[in-house]
Structure 1
Amino acid sequence: METRFQRVFLVSLMLGILPTFSATVLAFNVDDMVPTEIERRDVLENILDSENFELGAQIGLLSIEDFESNLWVSGHFAYHINEYFYAKALYGFSKAGTSSFEKLVNVPPLLTNEQRKLKYYGLNIGYNLLPGEVFLSKDIALNSMFSIELGGGSTEFAGNNQFTINLTANYRLFLTDWLTWDIAMSDYIFDTSVTGENKTTHNLNFTTGIAFYF
């Protein structure tokens, strides 16, 4: 009986001592691990790119209604108002080929060489849509952006200056944070009476080029 009582006493004593002992060891270990004085480090925040200006050049084809498809060269300067909207000033030129009427009927040329030169200058407002990524491989991905533009300007063609509406769909692939590869489809809409009939023409344009951001 005395032996059993001693065992119960020893178990109770151990149960009372072990938690205190464990807490003391835990506190000792935590105090040991955490320094009393934390050394502060200077952390430099990432500076986001803030290039709001864009300068680009394109080359492609312009299908001048009734005058074949012809080489097109253009340049633009743009200001990005925010992440969605931008304003773009555009200048482009081409030279009309032979009209279908001139090919079918044996008549003198409708236009002189100087009148066949087509020049356009105008201003567009663009809106960025559908930001995404293009995966060139499992380890290489490039940012991309699809945008639409609406604008107006003036087309000098056949000795006349015509008000022109411009509709453009543009796809940009960001090669770096300051360089893009652009692919665009445009429609230049203006009135003409070169063939003797007053009509509204749709002159489709396909271009590709690069743009620099600064």
Structure 2
Amino acid sequence: MANWFQQFLLTAAVLLLSPLALSAEESNDGSVVINPIKIIEPEGQQSKSDQAKIDNEVFEAGFFLGMISIEDFGTHPLYGVKASFHATEDFFLQANYGRSEAGRTSYETINGSGINILTDADREYSYYDVLVGYNLFPGETFVTRNLTFNSAFYLIGGVGNTQFAGDEQFTLVVGTGYRIIFSDWLTWNLDYRDHMFETELLGHKKRTHNIEFATGLTVFF
């Protein structure tokens, strides 16, 4: 009984004090045999994801398509072009030009086709603006385990000019957007904008909110 207890203490001491992390086992003749513990290396290697990112380009240009709700005149297709300058990783300047065409008001529709508040030419709606953007939540979009795109959710705002109903109106613009960088030269954008200006077109002065939803592609150069 004493011999077994002594062998147990010797084995425990070797395991605790050895810097090489050895293991012990008892042979047939009762002696202690020390064997090193084998370390099993994993066979697989960690996969690396491919990530599209911008190199050193700071200019961006492209087109957009979408819909705009012209207050009192319905929602209609919108198209235009945009250009951006990325001053830093967080801030960028953007210029936009868009065109649409307003429909008929509910007043014109209810009172028949003979009443027209605007001529066909006056229903053309166009704008240009200069905006400042801020990348609020830059991050990554994982399409698959091995395919990752850089992306950013941004805030944007600025001023511009709207031509509608034969008049030009100073316009405030605020909105948000989401950008995914497909490669070092191609991006996809999804934008929401509110174009605000004052008008007296329907007999009283009021501030109108003209909501835009648009998507488009841009290239870096």
Range class of TM-score, shorter chain: 0.7 to 0.9
The structure 2 residue matched to 1:157, chosen from 148, 154, 164, is 164
User: How many pairs align?
Assistant: 167
1:50 aligns with 2:24: no
**How far apart, in 1, do the equivalents of 2:200 and 2:149 lie?**
46
Q: Which amino acid aligns with 2:130?
A: L
Shift of 1:151: 0.6
Larger radius of gyration: 1
RMSD: 1.1
**How far apart, in 2, do the equivalents of 1:175 and 1:98 lie?**
40
SS at match of 1:136: strand
Shift of 1:114: 0.6
Shift of 1:105: 2.3
**How far apart, in 2, do the equivalents of 1:143 and 1:84 lie?**
14
- Map Cα deviations across residues 42-95 of structure 1 (whole Å, 9 max, x no partner): xxxxxx811010102100000000001001011111111111111111111110
Report the TM-score when normalising by structure 2.
0.73
**How far apart, in 1, do the equivalents of 2:111 and 2:208 lie?**
22
1:131 aligns with 2:129: no
SS at match of 2:201: coil
Shift of 1:195: 1.6
The structure 2 residue matched to 1:193, chosen from 185, 195, 200, is 200
1:30-179 aligned within 5 A:
49-106=55-112, 108-179=115-186
Q: Which amino acid aligns with 2:211?
A: L
Report the TM-score when normalising by structure 1.
0.76
Greater fraction strand: 2
Q: Which amino acid aligns with 1:128?
A: N
**How far apart, in 2, do the equivalents of 1:153 and 1:141 lie?**
36
Comparing 105-114 and 53-62, the one that deviates more: 105-114
- Segments of 5+ residues of structure 1 without an aligned counterpart are 1-47
Shift of 1:102: 0.9
